[in-house]
Amino acid sequence: MNKENKYFDLQRFGAGKNVNTTVGYTDAEGGTVTAYLEGAGLSDEMRTYYADYLIDNAEPNLIHDQFAQKHAIPKNGGKSIRFRKYDPLPKLTAALSEGVTPTGQSLNMGAVEATVRQYGGYVELSDLLLLAAIDNNLVMATKLLGSQAGRTLDTITREVLCGGTNVQYGEDAVTARYLLCGGQESGNHYMSVDCIKRAVRFLKNQNAEKINGAYACIIHPDCAYDLTSDANWKYPHQYCDTKELYEGEIGMIEGVRFVESTEAKVFHAPDLTPTSRTIPCVSDAYTTLSNAGVASEGFGTGSKYRLQLGNGFRVSPDMIGRSVLIYDASESSWQYAEITGGVYSEGGENYLFFDRQLVAGGIGSTDITTTAQDMLYPGEAGLAGRDVYATLVLGDNAYGTTELAGGGLEHIVKQLGSAGTADPLNQRATVGWKATKAAARLVEAFMVRIETASTFEVGAN
């Protein structure tokens, strides 16, 4: 008899909002599928096994922690971590005087502090699920929680690194993220060997030390696709005989070893409305965004630009503060602005207001003119809302993090009834993780963030 499991909705028991409970199973003919018994109790040995299992599933996701200066969080050591760094000693070009002891030098040590914060999550399991389910849900929950923990802690480090001040836009062809383009017939700003060479040049000029003989780079697979076709690209088997591979390492070029991760930062611009990525201008031949006296609308006076939108579009509250792009036909350039307000009338006149000071391009008092075909595009990423990818090129001691394996990541299992009177019928067990984490950029000059578009678009991550 061919048996195919069909899954019904999870039943919910107990006080928890997301208690994972039993799943009903029937075979293809509607017969009963026999379930086997799973014990809910855990010995100390089993707890150790599950804790190791969670950590093993977390560590492959910690791509951004691989090249950090790491320090364990000592017990009762407070909530702040201090990463120390020494300033280099200056050159001594003056000759010594015979028989005269020179003046001694002082070491200058700086410190960067980061406040440790706590993160965590858990899954709640019912007694019936543990007794009747065919799958070992404790193992699966631990595996999924391990992945969640790793991705969460990795993202915390990633966001700190991507806040660095040294940014390179493509091959330095443009000066801002919103000018990076992709998907065009020509002029696209994709990852290239020249991008890497420029970043390496910068790090060398800053005397940034290499990591195991090479600079390290964290790159998204979409950008790696644009880069690995170069004839000088080396795959790990071409050089790994003398080097230990990093987690996720895919190759090397221009003295940089690359680690690939889908968790590499992507700047994604959300759609402007729930139903449309763009907003059209009115269908007139030209629309002028001029200084508008809008005091009566409550948006200030003389410091705004006003644009009439196409029919059916209006400014919603969640659009206020959004960044937008619009093409200025009179300047033959893209302009960047922030939405500060909007007006809608029943007669169909829909107006959008921009802060004049935030409009880029040095337009001064010149009005912006658009053609009938022009659109407002979301402005938080690249040109026309194109996704922008961040590729990090790192020298040694560029940043620091806490040490996860030294007690920062904890796996927690609560057995049925462990809540005492809060679980009087021993109906709920939980499995979860908890971690303390801090990350800090130590030397800004030892890292470069290359921002580019790509042949592909992946969306927010």
Q: Bigger pLDDT: 405 or 433?
A: 433
Residue whose token pair is 């836009």: 169
CB contact at 8 A, 365 and 290:
no
Distance, in Å, from the CA atom of 152 to the CA atom of 461, rounded to the nearest integer, reads 11
* Mean of all residue pLDDT scores within the chain: 80
Given a cut of 80, whether residue 321 has pLDDT beyond it is yes
Mean pLDDT of 46-66: 80
Q: Bigger pLDDT: 193 or 327?
A: 193
Given a cut of 70, whether residue 315 has pLDDT beyond it is yes
Tokens encoding 242? 């003398």
Identify whether 352 is part of a domain. Answer: yes
Identify whether 77 is part of a domain. Answer: no
Tokens encoding 341? 């307000």
Given a cut of 90, whether residue 308 has pLDDT beyond it is no
Work out the pLDDT band at 66, boundaries 50, 70, 90: very high
CB contact at 8 A, 235 and 250:
yes
Strand boundaries in 157-300, DSSP class E = 167-169, 215-219, 249-253, 256-260, 266-267, 279-280, 286-289, 291-293
Distance, in Å, from the CA atom of 434 to the CA atom of 437, rounded to the nearest integer, reads 10
Q: Which residue in 77, 155, 206, 166 sits closest to 439, CA to CA?
A: 155
Identify whether 302 is part of a domain. Answer: yes
3-state secondary structure of 309: strand
Identify whether 328 is part of a domain. Answer: yes
Rg (the chain; Cα; Å): 29
Question: Within 10 Å of residue 123's Cβ, how many Cβ atoms?
Answer: 21
The tens digit of pLDDT for each residue in 247-277 reads: 999 999 999 999 999 999 999 999 988 888 8
Residue 364 pLDDT: 42
Residue whose token pair is 């019936």: 128
End-to-end CA distance of the chain: 44
Residue 2 pLDDT: 47
CATH code, 298: 2.40.30
Q: Bigger pLDDT: 160 or 107?
A: 160
Identify whether 362 is part of a domain. Answer: yes
Mean pLDDT of 220-238: 91
Identify whether 335 is part of a domain. Answer: yes
Identify whether 313 is part of a domain. Answer: yes
The tens digit of pLDDT for each residue in 184-226 reads: 999 999 999 999 999 999 999 999 999 999 999 999 999 999 9
Give the range of the structural domain holding residue 304, as residue numbers without chain letter: 279-379
Alpha helices (runs of H) in 171-254, residue ranges in sequence order: 193-205, 221-227
Number of domains in the chain: 1
Work out the pLDDT band at 355, boundaries 50, 70, 90: low
Distance, in Å, from the CA atom of 179 to the CA atom of 125, rounded to the nearest integer, reads 50
Q: How many CA atoms within 13 Å lie on the side-chain side of 154?
A: 23
Work out the pLDDT band at 74, boundaries 50, 70, 90: confident
3-state secondary structure of 80: strand
Identify whether 262 is part of a domain. Answer: no
Query: Parallel, antiparallel, or unpaired for β 375-378 and 333-344?
Result: unpaired
CB contact at 8 A, 330 and 367:
yes
Tokens encoding 79? 């909530």
